[in-house]
Structure formats: C-alpha cells, structure tokens
Amino acid sequence: MALFDKIFGTRPEAPPESRLPAERQAAVNGSPSAHEAAHLLRAPTALMQLSEAEALTVVGFMRPRRYASGSTIIRQGETADTGFMVLVLDGEITVENLVASRANPATVNVLGPGSLIGEMSLVDGAARSASCTASTNVRCAVLTREALEALTAEQPATAAKLMTAVAQRLAERLRESSHKLQIYSKLVSTLQQEIDALMPTPDRRR
C-alpha cells in the first residue's frame, strides 16, 4: 500500500490536479511506483509514443485506485460516468460486449498490466462501448477528464502529445476493426457462393 500511495506521495484529500506543480513533481520524483506507472504507460499496449519524462508528468495527474475481484470498472452503455480512463498496473480485467442475439455477454479480451481502458469515452464523452470487470484484484491509475483539463492548462505540450498518442491508438483499433470486417465480408461472400452452388435457385436450374 505504501509504495502504491507513493505514485502521488501520501494520499491527499484534494485530487492531484488541484495540487501545485512543485508538489506534484515532488510526489513522483524518486518514487518507484511512479516510475513503474510511467513505464507501463509507455508500454506497447498503452501509449508508447510518450517519453519517460512525459509519462511521469501524466502520472502526476493520475489517481491510484484498487478494485476487488468481481468489481465492475466500466459498464457498457453507461453515459453518466464516462470522464476517466484506467491504466492497469497489476491484475487482470475482462472486457465484455453485450450482443443482442446472445443471452450472455461475449468476452472480447482479457487485459493485464500496461493496458488502457476507457480512453475512447474520455475523448468523446459518449456511452461506454464495453463492460470491464476486474477478474482478479486490480491495482490501477486513473486519469479523469478534470485532470486532463488541468494537464492541458499546465503542460499543453505534454497534453497534446498524450492526446495524439490516444488518437493514434484509437485509429489503430479502428483499422483493425475495419480489417476484421473485410475478412468477415469475404467469408460471408464465399459461404453464399458455396450455398448457391449446392442449392441453386430456380432461375439458375434452367
């Protein structure tokens, strides 16, 4: 617990974005947990475009959180509480989607340390696109929209780099989804051709 709290020093009553820059800097300087969080923030599964100094700056605006196994961190369709993203420091999170044709949600992914969740809604404020549940006890760092606004006012260059990295991550995910849709479309077309060959329509029998 002590090392975890060192991400921001001892837990303050006020949120990290309300602290003075010197206080925030002192909280992360020399803190092993702050450097651990910054290292994970720069992981390939997160925002590897950030430099170590930029990642440490962002970490100074993040809040430490713990979730017990089984806790819902993000709920699909939620519109009231969309103003945060989560960096997983320890533990695993299951990502699920509710599908209209299924009674139970479909597991999309299982994420571990160095993974980000919730960044899409942090950017656009829209409803959550998936549910995220702690499948083990989870230790994480949370960046709220208020903290992002404070970061933008105090360190505009770092905030711009952060948002560029988030946008790039979202673009990569969109391209991946587009590629999967193309594969699915080709598969459907191939199956339809095979069905037509096995069961030709009346017009094709003539």
Taking the domain 2-186, which CATH number applies? 2.60.120.10
What totals of helices (H) and strands (E) does the chain contain, helices first? Answer: 8, 8
Residue 189, pLDDT above cutoff 90? no
Q: Any alpha helices (H) in 85-155, and if so which ranges?
A: 119-124, 145-154
Do 91 and 112 form a contact (C-beta atoms < 8 A)?
yes
Q: What is the pTM of this model?
A: 0.75
Domain spans in the chain, listed from the N-terminal domain onward: 2-186
Q: Which tens digits make up the pLDDT trace of 2-54?
A: 445 545 444 545 688 888 888 888 888 878 889 999 999 999 989 999 999 99
Q: What mean pLDDT comes out for the span 172-178?
A: 68
Which strands make up the sheet holding 63-67, listed edge to edge? 63-67, 138-144, 84-90, 116-117
* 185: phi then psi, degrees, rounded to nearest 5: -65, -40
Q: What mean pLDDT comes out for the span 181-187?
A: 71
Of 99-103, 112-116, 172-176, 197-201, which has the strongest mean pLDDT?
112-116
Nearest to 89 by CA among 145, 155, 45, 23: 45
Nearest to 99 by CA among 134, 128, 130: 130
Percent of the chain topping pLDDT 70: 82
**CA distance linking residue 81 with residue 106, whole number of Å:** 23
DSSP state string for 17-67: GGS-HHHHHHHHTT-HHHHHHHHHHTSTTS-TTS-HHHHHHHHTT-EEEEE
Q: Which tens digits make up the pLDDT trace of 67-88?
A: 999 999 999 988 888 889 999 9
